[in-house]
Chains A and B, each alone.
Chain A
Amino acid sequence: MKTDVIIIGAELDGLIAATRLVEYGYTVRILAVGAGSLHYSSAGEHVLGFDSSEQMVKNPFEAIESLNSHHPYRRIGTSNVRLALEWFYKKNDGSNILSVSPAGLGIPVYRALPWQATFDDIKNKNATIVQFRNHGDFTAHLASNELNRAGYKVSVLEFEAPDVFSKNAALAKSFDRLEDPASFFLGLKESLSDETEVLLFAAVMGFKDHQRIMNEAEKIIGIPCREVSTLPPSIPGMRLDDDLTSNLKQQKVSIHSGVKIIEHRSNGSHCIAVTDDIGRSYEASIFIVSTGGVLMGGLDIDSHGNVHETSLGLEVYQSEPLSAVSVDTSLHALHMAGVETDNELRPLKGYRNVCVTGRSLSHWNPAQESSCEGVCISTGWVAAETAHNQLMGMKNG
């Protein structure tokens, strides 16, 4: 059955495009190999944390002009970035705040997630970080060491988790299942020193029942409770992924997982259909490539150092040489490779009814800029606008 739009990949940008497109009333199908990179990300709301000279950015919108002229933000324009982020975050004041990393360092975020620990939360307060025993993916001692040396007052409390699990996802689910959270948090409160004014947990405090668990914690313990991100898999990222996909499913968007696109059909200027690795074919008017770049296999690098786009065989920009001038330039080149597009995110060379979003785009470096969610959300949003305009055009003539 033909849909208006097919989104290849279930990255944040693809989910955003789908969310926007169903707002317009289009039929959307998502074809993905598996879950997207939200499961790896620290899932703060990173819009633009560092400029190209690695200086920390206070106002992301003002710093966009300093980025290279092919950067996705520059391509879609600051006004579209503002519109997209206002639509998603319901915030437009343009300022970053500093969240607390599991290494005790500051990460600039555009907006704190609900209960995400920021430096404002611990300033001039006695903070305690809870380290659940055997929880190897959280490094409370590392965080407290760095924070204490930076002049904050932070101590670590080792505590038994509600279950014996030592992995993020299992721990988060054990909080969801906790029959009597009140007595758990009461036990925790008794182990705390009286001086503690703010309590930091690893970001594993419940998965679906996160809000309820944190409300309960604050109610019982009687002080602000916050979460600090962990090593992957990222529970806050999974929560966001789950929110977006549940909403899409309710809107009758079909999300196919385990589908790898290996072929496509075209009429020369337009892509008509894609085929998966067991021969199923899917038709649509518009295709959005949200395949997650090198990290998620949307871009593949062969042993000769050539980069390939894996879903539709689109032409890829790569700087020469890709490897080994120095560590930072080579690492930078890995990120900068991707599909080059026009301002509406259509590939410069290739089909007119295709948009490319997120990590599959060229000329940006999420790790250096700390800009992952911002670029994914705004390019997903712009791709949906481009698709909308094209679909309107087709309808009208």
Chain B
Amino acid sequence: MHKSKSISLNAPRAIIIGGGATGCGVARDLSMRGFKVTLIEFGDLGSGTSSRFHGMLQSGARYAVSDTEYAAECMRERLNIANTAPEVVEQTGGLFVTLPDDPEGFDDRFYTCCQEAGIPVKELPPEQVMGEEPNISRKVLRAFSVPDATIQPWGLVNLLADDIRRRGGEILTRHQVTDIDVTAGRVRGVTAIGQSGERRIEADVVINASGPWSARVASLVGETANIELGKGSILVFSHRMVSRAINRCRPPTSHDIIVPTGTISLFGTSSEVVDTPDTTHVRPEEIQELLKNAEPLIPNIRNYRAFRAWAGVRPLFRPQGWDSDKPLSRRHSVINHGDNGIDGFYTILGGSLTTHRSMAEDIGDRICQHFGLNESSKTADIPLSKSSKKSDWHPVGNYKNVEKTQNFGSPICECESVNKEDIVSLIESHGINHLHDFRRRSRVGFGPCQGTFCGSRVASLLAEYDSEYPSKNDLGKFWTERLKGSIFTSWGQQAKQLVLSDSIYRETLGIRLDKDILPVEDCR
């Protein structure tokens, strides 16, 4: 195999199914090892589980007691991401607090296990913590600081994708794999259908990295994947009511964490086993359960403005013979379907966004071994960032920029402080032509108004650049999609906001709800 940067003509060809953090991580790892990669994603990059969680970059402390070895892996990876992609990481720090209800003695074990896992843990006086975090309970008994952080999931996935493309890899979004070709016990390629039609792509190795959809993809070749689908729902509040990610100091279960991200906070996570990976509907009872369980940690939580709820489906690996009462490990697992006579087909399961890189390294090692290649992973050492400037992501970065440039003239999105120039540069440099793509790239429509004011402004800019832009349909889709997440939180101020938004879209603009995507069952 050639060691040049360009892809050799006889380079092994890999197809990765799934464009979340795992799939993108695997694609990057393999392209750095000289593979010619094609990544196929059913929806948009990072639109599944990768963006449907609380956005934490785990120090591993959460799993220190239950799985010290995995906790140590999280800590190593957390440091690595912060070094290689600082612009998508906010160094919030994390806290674990013991409240009167939490099991006695857990905190001592927690402290010891963090030390064993190599997680820098420090006990802080409760008075100090309650002083620094005025919104949390006044009943904190003990508190520990750990180096948790938060991450911009779409930022990470886009950095990985840009890097894959730079190395000559191909990324197909909005393409569904309909067939995996297996001939004479070997995988030969896949068939995918996209907007431009059906396409057959040849490959020497196919990696199923489709998270909760893994079992569905594996079934295309009659294979199974041992996953348990754990739906987790999250409630979003319009204030940054804590400055650090705060966990209850107890065995990790549900409803025990609040995470500040950007200008907002997320409380989560509920947990229930579901049948299908498409179940991202948050039921009213789940919202009540989240609120009830948040109150011991944040007593005044009902008086904060919740403006959205979402759910993601975790693809947890369930080893055979696992005791059903025991919580499933968060570790990942690689299935080599070659053991069942399908040479070159792999499935990667479990893990987390924090460990996406080490997961990719693990499967990359196995694949290289299979091909007899002596190429080791380089992802830990080569920065993901394009710029050499190392600055962390900052929640008020946009606002600071407005102050610096004194450009108050053309705000498009007041909630997230996005200007006309930001949108125009996305249109001109990335050819983005749908409101959803703008949202993921620029945070337009992420804030408390949920696209009430910015939707038509962005659509007007798009219409200015593209006379074929289907403004009525795109606005209808955008608004209906935003409503799907915010309708769950129609109380207090957000109920007013929803009525105002409805008045603007239907009465003033004349946009109707998009009937095709109306049901709360998600269409991703």
A residues in contact (CB < 8 Å) with B: 40-42, 46, 54, 101-107, 134, 136, 139-142, 144-146, 148-149, 156, 166, 229, 231-232, 234, 293-297, 300-305, 321-328, 330-331, 334-335, 366-368, 370, 372
Contacts and interface: CB of A to CB of B under 8 A. Distances in A.
Interface in B459-502: 459-461, 463-464, 467, 469, 471-472, 475, 480, 483-484, 487-488, 490-492, 495-496, 498-500, 502
B507 A334 contact: no
Nearest to A296: B496
B366 interface: no
B500 A295 contact: yes
Contacts of A232: 500, 504, 508
Contact of A101 (B412, B420, B460, B508): B508
Contacts of A367: 499, 502-503, 505-507
B507 A42 contact: yes
Contacts of A328: 513, 518
B520 interface: yes
A323 B288 CA distance: 12
Given A141-B460, A148-B467, 10 more contacts: A41-B508, A103-B459, A294-B499, A301-B490, A301-B495, A305-B490, A322-B490, A334-B502, A366-B507, A372-B503
B166 to A, nearest CB: 34
B291 interface: yes
Contacts of B483: 327, 331
B500 A323 contact: no
A107 B488 contact: no
Contacts of A145: 463-464, 467, 469, 471
B463 A326 contact: no
Contacts of B498: 331, 334
Contact of B471 (A103, A134, A234, A301): A103
A367 B306 CA distance: 23
Nearest to B482: A327
A234 B503 CA distance: 12
B507 to A, nearest CB: 6
Contact of B487 (A104, A139, A330): A330
B471 A146 contact: yes
Contacts of B503: 40-41, 295, 366-367, 372
B506 A139 contact: no
B467 A101 contact: no
A26 to B, nearest CB: 32
Contacts of A144: 463
Q: Is the interface of B mostly helix, strand, loop or mixed?
A: helix
16 contacts: A41-B503, A41-B508, A101-B508, A103-B511, A107-B508, A142-B456, A295-B500, A300-B492, A302-B491, A322-B490, A326-B518, A331-B502, A334-B490, A334-B499, A334-B502, A367-B502
A142 B268 CA distance: 39
Contact of B510 (A40, A106, A166): A106
B65 to A, nearest CB: 33
Contacts of A335: 499, 502
User: Which one of A229, A327, A330 has the highest number of Cβ atoms from chain B below 10 Å of its Cβ?
Assistant: A327
Interface in B380-439: 409-412, 420
Contacts of B480: 327
B132 to A, nearest CB: 27
Nearest to A100: B510
A178 B162 CA distance: 52
7 shortest A-B CB distances, which residue pairs? A105-B510, A145-B463, A139-B460, A142-B460, A141-B464, A42-B508, A101-B510
Contacts of A102: 456, 508-509
A231 B453 contact: yes
B284 interface: yes
Contacts of A324: 281-284, 487-488, 520
B433 to A, nearest CB: 13
A334 B495 contact: yes
